[in-house]
Structure 1
Amino acid sequence: MTPWVQRLLLANVVVFVLTWVNPGLRTDFAFIPALVLYRPWTIVTYAFLHANGMHILFNMLMLFFFGPRLEERLGSRTFIWFYILCGIGGAILSFAFSPNAAVVGASGAIFGVVIGFARYWPREDIYIWGILPIQARMLAFLMVASSLFAGFAGTQDGIAHFAHLGGLATGWLFLRRWESRRHRRVVRQPTLTRIQAEIVDADTLRRWEAIPRERLHEINREELESLLRKARKAGARALSHEERAFLDRMANTP
């Protein structure tokens, strides 16, 4: 399991136990729009609170299944900022559309994680309840559609649907900007001569070949081997920017 996913799982469970022992903590750290100017920290802390056992179980399962691979793709520091900002985005949109509703739960951040997973692995099969296969992109679409319908229909189910949508939108915008900035950095690099490029290709491929397979998730190992086969056949420069970034991230992860 990746570092920040592990820490987030632990933090959410610890906070859930603390609020179970002392329910008053939920009031102190929940996001209540009318009080946000007096308690600004709640725009972050609300995402570590959960209403009941099923609420935290669902969110933590989603984080457990989708989070590690996305953290490996983005890098740990970028991932934790992504997660926190998705949570903040969820609070802001919930405030905009439901200013009188108190909000708790990591769902905004979790929905951001799911949209990130679907962005990079759209055709990955996800098994609902372990038996029903659905592609990641379709799962993300259904989550967006259901939240839009329930939110604008005014469904009184006690679920912060606009917080979900805020997390989804923030996650999508964050990743678009992150990818754009990374692309600009690559474009600005000076052009190499053919011989220099071949040397860099060979050195880069050796570094990628040295990535320890045993520490990777099975799915990431398969993706690693697929990209290495492509690089061996056509050279490292044949890989896309995102494919190279993935391999570099795997090589730089301690």
Structure 2
Amino acid sequence: MKIRYNAPVTLTFALASTVILAISQVIPDFMSNFVVPGSTYPFNFFSLDLLRLISYTIGHGSWEHLIGNMSFMLLIGPVLEEKYGSVRIFIMMVITAVASGLFNVFFLPDPSLGASGIVFMLILLISITNVRKGEIPLTLIAVIAVFVTKEIFSMLFEKNNINEIAHLLGGLFGGFFGFLFAHEKKQKETTPEKPAGTNVSYTNT
């Protein structure tokens, strides 16, 4: 029996995040390379600062922060990679990271780091798994109710170092991707197969 690298995107992301945090324990300023700045900080779009729009997701402020995010990612990520494919999950993660990073650069005053936005994207995405046309999964309603209520409450009434906006944006993208690819899957299921030995072609309308 051999060990299989079954979820390359999830496992590589978790490994990179762990290595980055471990190095930062030895080199204190190292983590500053994995932070996306806020609106009150300079950001040069024509420099290596652009990499921060993605690299901030593998930076974490503490082992507790890292373990919290990776616990969810390692549970959910492999399932989603199996369903959607590693390339597609990677693209979803990049889009979510860049969009949340840009929002932070333009609209939020403080720097941010961590994979929480991506984790919440995956949580919403998996809650829409196997959605059917004309139906809304009860699990999706439950996740949104708990998730949105908690984040809004924390944003309004708690003083912490958590970027709730990144969580909400991640969840928004997760819901969008879930319904987008559920529709695509439905189209594939309803497209008739071409009979063997004929030249008949079909067009989706």
TM, length-normalised to structure 1: 0.62
* Within-5 A mapping of 1:133-172: 138-151=142-155, 153=156, 155-172=158-175
> Is residue 92 from structure 1 mapped to residue 102 from structure 2 by the alignment?
yes
Q: CA deviation at 1:178?
A: 3.1
Equivalent-residue separation in structure 2 for 1:36 and 1:168 (angstroms): 26
Unaligned runs of 5+ residues in structure 1 are 123-134, 197-254
Q: Deviations over 1:53-89 (max 9, x none)?
A: 1000100001011111111111111011112222223
User: Does the C-alpha gap of structure 1 residues 162 and 25 become closer, same or farther in structure 2, counting only changes over 3 Å?
Assistant: same
Instruction: Specify the alignment match of 1:71 in structure 2.
Output: 81
Instruction: Specify the alignment match of 2:122 in structure 1.
Output: 113
Instruction: Specify the alignment match of 1:36 in structure 2.
Output: 43
Q: Which structure has greater helix proportion?
A: 1
Q: CA deviation at 1:183?
A: 4.5
Give 1:36's aligned amino acid: F
Q: Which structure has the greater CA radius of gyration?
A: 1
Unaligned runs of 5+ residues in structure 2 are 1-5, 132-138, 197-205
Q: CA deviation at 1:184?
A: 4.8
Count residues with an aligned counterpart: 179
Q: Deviations over 1:69-117 (max 9, x none)?
A: 111111111011112222223323444542x110010100011011111
Q: Is the 8 A contact 2:96 2:173 kept in 1?
A: yes
TM, length-normalised to structure 2: 0.75
Equivalent-residue separation in structure 2 for 1:104 and 1:167 (angstroms): 14
Q: CA deviation at 1:186?
A: 5.9
Q: Is the 8 A contact 1:89 1:170 kept in 2?
A: no
Give 1:90's aligned amino acid: S
User: Does the C-alpha gap of structure 1 residues 177 and 35 become closer, same or farther in structure 2, counting only changes over 3 Å?
Assistant: farther
Considering only aligned residues, what root-mean-square deviation do their CA atoms show, in Å?
Answer: 2.6
Identity among equivalent positions (%) equals 20
Q: Is the 8 A contact 2:121 2:174 kept in 1?
A: yes
Equivalent-residue separation in structure 2 for 1:121 and 1:179 (angstroms): 7
Q: CA deviation at 1:120?
A: 1.3
Q: Is the 8 A contact 1:90 1:165 kept in 2?
A: no
Q: Deviations over 1:214-250 (max 9, x none)?
A: xxxxxxxxxxxxxxxxxxxxxxxxxxxxxxxxxxxxx
